[in-house]
Amino acid sequence: MRREFKVKRNKKGLTPVIAVILLLMMTVAAAGAAFFWFVRIQSEMQGGTEAYSEGLTKTISSRLSIATVDYSTTTDNLTMVLQNIGSKPISVASSTTTLILRDYDQNIICNVKLNASNEQTGTTVEEIYTTGFSGNLNVKSSKTVVFDLSNETSNPCYIANDATYAADSTFYFKMDFGAVTGTGGSFTK
């Protein structure tokens, strides 16, 4: 008896090869997409870190102190000597320079931008009640600034003859120079 062997042809032999190739292509594509996504995120984070570092360096290197503060009851002027003790010039009269004046109970008397326009008069706050408040304060230099606190009608920081504040009242102030630096102190009326 003769045995006959039938050769079976497997028509499904090509399918596993195609499946492996497709899986490899999907893996390579996913890895490539993840790589480019990671590179983009990393560069954005690096740019943000550089901007933050640059701003921090600018802030750290800009320092201002107040050498003297004097309030004169005869002229109702508050005179300050500002000193730049940092390593960068400071714009004293930027449009964002702010003065905050508080009384002894920490109630805000005034919060004014020192170079902001006054719509009614067309003048700046600087022209109304300050002198010496312009330009830059160079490194290791000082500038005398005088605030006139006597004009009740046009001065938001009026404390001169105000009956609310007795003689020997203590006042606190803060000055912010456009978020670059700030300083503060106190004085007695």
Per-residue pLDDT tens over the stretch 126-143: 444 566 667 778 888 888
In a domain, 17, yes or no: yes
Contact 92, 177 (CB under 8 A): yes
Residue of higher predicted confidence among 6 and 22 = 22
Please check whether residue 5 lies inside any domain of the structure: no
What gap in Å lies between CA 10 and CA 8, rounded to an integer? 6
* Residue 103, φ and ψ in degrees, nearest 5: -90, -175
Same domain, 25 and 115: no
**Quick check: 88 pLDDT over 80?**
yes
Do 48 and 75 sit in the same domain of this protein? no
80 and 141 together in one domain: yes
Q: Are the C-beta atoms of 175 and 98 separated by less than 8 Å?
A: yes
Dihedral pair phi/psi, residue 151, rounded to 5°: -85, 105
Residue 48 sits in the same domain as residue 96: no
Select the more confidently predicted residue: 81 or 127. 81
Range of the domain at 45: 12-61
- Is 0.85 surpassed by the pTM of this model? no
Distances (CA, A) of 101 to 56, 107, 111: 27, 9, 7
Task: Look at residue 132 and tell me if it is in a domain.
Answer: yes
- For 123, the 3-state DSSP assignment is coil
Note whether 128 and 98 are same-domain residues: yes
Same-domain pairing of 32 and 66: no
Which of the residue ranges 29-33, 73-77, 138-142, 184-188 has the most confident prediction, judged by mean pLDDT? Answer: 29-33
Q: What is the CATH number of the domain that holds 129?
A: 2.60.40.10
Residue 126 is predicted with a pLDDT of 46
Q: How many domains does the chain have?
A: 2
71 shares a domain with 47: no
User: Is 147 within 8 Å of 77 (Cβ atoms)?
Assistant: yes
Q: Is the same domain home to 83 and 36?
A: no
Q: Is residue 1 domain-resident?
A: no
